[in-house]
Amino acid sequence: MENQTKEMNQAENTSAAQGLDACKAAVMPTYGRFDVIFEKGQGAMLWDTKGETYLDFVSGVAVNALGHGNPELAAVISEQAAKLMHISNLYWNEPQLKLAKNLIDLSEGALQDVFFCNSGTEALEGAIKLARKYGKKRDAVKVAHLSHSFHGRTMGALSVTGQPKYQAPFMPLIPEVYEFPANDIEALKNLDSSYCGFLVEPIQGEGGVNPISNEYLEALRAKCDALDIVLIFDEVQTGIGRLGTFYAHQSTSIKPDVVCLAKGLGCGFPIGAFIASKKVSVLTAGEHGSTFGGNPLATAVALKGVEIISSPDFLAQVKEKSQKIIQKLQALTDGHTIKSIKGKGLLIGIELGVDVKSFNTLAFDHKLLLIPAGENVIRVLPPLNVTDEEINLFFSKLEVILEALKEDKIAK
């Protein structure tokens, strides 16, 4: 009887999956997807429509900071949705006000004004507009960004993304945008008073998990101060505890003028924000807006996530787990398959000596979800509350993958 029930359930799942497969043609083909449909998750684990179990160390690309199925977040969503989901920014709402105050307080005096939106790209767009308006007082319109950067896919954010492969199909982009080589202090001599803003990711995620040195950031901060340039930190992937500090810039010795947030801010619920110091906060009523930005439901969820993640004990655990993972990965470094380990906190890059796409496909075949970054790096992005058991499972799967690669080389 038990086997019969199991077979019936499998048949139902297969039928449902086939029905969903028929719907795939309705979705615009703008993503390279694995052929899997996920239906539920818990912590760092995911289950697909066939009942297969996967270890998720992508976390929605650093979005699911507290993993899947978090009961505290689910309770907030249910409670807030029953009360109020959206009212527009013609009026105040309590979760938005509380979240704004928390984000400002957590900046330790660096930032004072918050604008809420729905994504990282939107946050970057707003920050660029702010910098452009700030520079108007001295006719400064140029915007600088770093090589290998990634700031988003809308026309403004794409214009400040230092990766031609993303830009080429959409030329021409917005004018007066210039690229500077990352970590090249000497090149900063080319900055002058015609620039209004400079965008930096403290660690370039999409570009290959490339850290920007503290020495470079200090030199850049000094240059921006001297020329009155707005220094914008893109913390969309690196912020909200990902590096072991609440804000990514708190792991450096400098303070930016603007910080852009999204991804982990909503722990899975769409929300973004850019936060500015009073000095550069020049946008006024009617100059920028977002219909859904700062709605009660999104800000209520983010408020709970921020309360959890900003706890000193929680952040200390992020650092401890990071150290454990990085040390174990370094022990597997052989100079060939794994060449080096880089990153900070729970944004970790494994530099590979093998094809990154093939490695990622092999990981998927072993029910381990990872994500490429740059040309030869695989990103490891577990939830910030990843358990020791999930970390151990990650290394068990990784060792099997490395052994399979070794055997494949021997066979060839």
Tokens at 114, concatenated: 């918050």
B/e letters for 344-366, b = 16+ CB within 10 Å, e = fewer, are bbbbbbbbbebebeebbebbeee
- Residue 49: partners with Cβ closer than 8 Å, 6 or more residues away: 13, 16, 17, 20, 37, 38, 39
Q: Give residue 186's identity as a one-letter amino acid code.
A: E
Q: Is 284 annotated as a binding residue?
A: no
Q: Is 120 annotated as a binding residue?
A: yes
Contact criterion met (CB below 8 Å) for 359 and 377: no
Q: Is 237 annotated as a binding residue?
A: yes
Q: Is 150 annotated as a binding residue?
A: yes
Tokens at 165, concatenated: 């492969």
Q: Is 333 annotated as a binding residue?
A: no
DSSP type of residue 336: S
Q: Is 5 annotated as a binding residue?
A: no
- What's the CA gap between 56 and 370, in Å, rounded? 7
How far apart, in Å, are the Cα atoms of 30 and each of 62, 115, 118?
20, 29, 20
Q: Is 184 annotated as a binding residue?
A: no
Q: Is 121 annotated as a binding residue?
A: yes
CA angle, corner 114, sides to 254 and 195, nearest 5? 55
Binding-site residue numbers for N(2)-acetyl-L-ornithine are 153, 290
Binding-site residue numbers for pyridoxal 5'-phosphate are 120-121, 150, 234-237, 291
Binding-site residue numbers are 120-121, 150, 153, 234-237, 290-291
